[in-house]
């Protein structure tokens, strides 16, 4: 294969990757990145209500780089708010060992979707690269891994009933995964 053929083949792969990334990037461009107060250890985000609600969602976030930055966890209660405006938000320091733990309590029974990401550089927002693709590790509830676009609420939704519901989210560096797969 000549140098020209190699260059053309590599350029074609790059263009194909960019075309596939555009819808995903635009969908993730709306993930809110407003700063929150940092909490040490176990964080609790309570829904402001007049009376206590019975549901609790316990989230274990793994896949993070140990001891680096914080984990931000956004909770969404509907399709209308999903990836637009979180209903609840929590932030915890990434531990030196193990998983980061976040608990949302006093939740009304129903479906919720969760997005977690590791704010490695501590700037309080999800850093994005070309076309808005996340540069920091990100994960969704139900183990949803975005391919060509951000997931739908229903894909990431988990049911919360009376008592505690526990889920695990693994954050991944999507840009590194794309490079490894090409």
Give mean pLDDT, residues 150-155: 94
- Tell me the residue ranges of DSSP E strands in the chain: 43-46, 55-62, 70-76, 88-93, 100-107, 110-119, 138-140, 157-160, 163-170
> Angle at the Cα of 100 (from 120 to 128), degrees rounded to 5?
30
Q: Does the pLDDT of residue 112 top 60, yes or no?
A: yes
Average pLDDT of the chain is 77
Q: What percent of the chain has pLDDT over 70?
A: 67
Q: How many CB atoms lie within 10 A of CB 141?
A: 23
Tell me the C-alpha distance between 19 and 106, whole Å. 42
pLDDT band at 133 (very low <50, low <70, confident <90, very high): confident
Lowest mean pLDDT across 40-44, 84-88, 110-114: 40-44
Q: Where are the domains of the chain?
A: 3-181
pLDDT band at 1 (very low <50, low <70, confident <90, very high): low
7-55 pLDDT per residue, tens: 555 545 544 554 444 444 434 443 443 333 333 333 344 433 334 468 9
Q: Does the pLDDT of residue 149 top 90, yes or no?
A: no
Tell me the C-alpha distance between 130 and 89, whole Å. 26
Place of tokens 């939704």: 157
Q: Domain 3-181 carries which CATH code?
A: 2.60.40.1120
Q: What percent of the chain has pLDDT over 90?
A: 55
Tell me the C-alpha distance between 94 and 64, whole Å. 7
Q: How many CB atoms lie within 10 A of CB 158?
A: 15
47-83 pLDDT per residue, tens: 333 344 689 999 999 999 999 999 999 999 999 999 9
């Amino acid at each position: 294969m000549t140098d020209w053929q190699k260059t053309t083949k590599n350029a074609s792969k790059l263009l194909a990757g960019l075309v596939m990334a555009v819808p995903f990037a635009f969908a993730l461009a709306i993930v809110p990145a407003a700063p929150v107060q940092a909490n040490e250890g176990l964080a609790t985000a309570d829904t402001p209500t007049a009376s206590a609600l019975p549901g609790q969602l316990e989230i274990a976030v793994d896949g993070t780089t140990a001891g680096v930055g914080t984990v931000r966890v956004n909770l969404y209660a509907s399709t209308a708010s999903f990836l637009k405006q979180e209903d609840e938000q929590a932030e915890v320091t990434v531990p030196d060992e193990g998983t980061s733990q976040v608990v949302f309590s006093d939740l009304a029974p129903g479906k919720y979707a969760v997005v977690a990401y590791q704010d490695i550089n501590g700037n309080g927002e999800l850093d994005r690269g070309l076309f808005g693709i996340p540069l920091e590790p990100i994960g969704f509830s139900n183990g949803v891994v975005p391919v060509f676009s951000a997931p739908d609420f229903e894909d990431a939704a988990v049911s919360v009933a009376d008592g505690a519901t526990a889920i695990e989210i693994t954050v991944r560096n999507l840009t590194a995964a794309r490079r490894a797969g090409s």
